[in-house]
Structure 1
């Protein structure tokens, strides 16, 4: 599904100027219809899947307890 720059910016929580900059630099693929740039929203599916996976891995890492150091000796 093709969306305008404004709709895409709202969907991916970025400013319109940043999305337009990415379009002009080729970081976001788009089609120019003579009046405006249209962006296929399916290209962000993989990005959001990877982002969710990364968030999950960070949560697992935060929940993992720090192991005791084997070099610490209790010398009283």
Structure 2
């Protein structure tokens, strides 16, 4: 299924400008229909899964409290 760059940005939860930059750099293949670039959304299923996994890990790390007994010495 082909989607526009803006639809792909919503699907991947990434800024549209980021995807446009990736298209210009040649990292994302598109089909130009004469008016806009279209992207095959199916090629991003694995990428979407990886992004979701990474976001979950980052959220878990952010919720983890810092160890209470860390030994920081102020050199000032």
Q: CA deviation at 1:28?
A: 1.2
**TM-score normalized by structure 2?**
0.61
- Structure 1 residue runs without a partner (length 5+): 60-76
Partner of 1:30: 30
Q: CA deviation at 1:27?
A: 1.1
- Structure 2 residue runs without a partner (length 5+): 61-76
> How many residues of Structure 1 are paired with residues of Structure 2 in the alignment?
57
Provide the aligned C-alpha RMSD in A.
Answer: 2.0
What is the rounded CA distance, in whole Å, between the counterparts of 2:51 and 2:10 in structure 1?
17
Partner of 1:3: 3
Deviations for 1:11-52, whole angstroms, at most 9, x for unmatched residues? 001111111111111111111111100000011112234456
